[in-house]
Amino acid sequence: MHNSGGRDSVKAAWEKACQSLSHSYSPYSRFSVGAGLVAQNGILYSGCNVENATYGATICAERTAFLKAISEGNRSFSDIVIVTDTVKPTPPCALCLQTMAEFCAPDFMIHIGNLNGISVSYRFCELLTHPFGPSYLLD
């Protein structure tokens, strides 16, 4: 039993991720990513990757979605859908997993897929098994 926001909200998040992918700013890698983040209260946040000529200032689609949500006062999440325009679905990078470690429970659901749909879903704790999180600092 997990905490997922449910099939309808995951489907809506996938649609949002596909939409956001079309806004990807990725002139250097040409690797477009879209994300749809589901908050516990049902609100959806989208994100795309935004590259930068410095490369280092680039931000991933997943973190864009988290920063949008958090900057609007939402800190509780159930699911994220990550979409790439590739045959092989792409899991979140380690920086994005670390951002998730700050705000997400072990049963937070990560769904990855492409423009044809979601192909695999993981619990957060399956992708980052021993996260460094707030409990190490706030005990």
Residues that bind Zn ion (CB under 5 A): 60, 93, 96
User: In the bound complex, what is the minimum distance in angstroms from residue 108's beta carbon to Zn ion?
Assistant: 15
Nearest CB to Zn ion, comparing residues 7 and 61: 61
User: In the bound complex, what is the minimum distance in angstroms from residue 4's beta carbon to Zn ion?
Assistant: 21
Q: Check 15, 62, 72, 102 and give the catalytic one.
A: 62
Query: What is the DSSP code string of the chain?
Result: ------HHHHHHHHHHHHHHHTT-B-TTT---EEEEEEETTS-EEEEE-B--TTSTT-B-HHHHHHHHHHHTT---EEEEEEEESSSS--PPPHHHHHHHHHH--TT-EEEEEETTEEEEEEEHHHHSSS---THHHH-
Question: Using CB atoms, what's the residue nearest to Zn ion?
Answer: 60
Nearest CB to Zn ion, comparing residues 93 and 120: 93
Nearest CB to Zn ion, comparing residues 42 and 132: 132
51 is catalytic: no
User: In the bound complex, what is the minimum distance in angstroms from residue 92's beta carbon to Zn ion?
Assistant: 5
Q: Which residues are catalytic?
A: 62
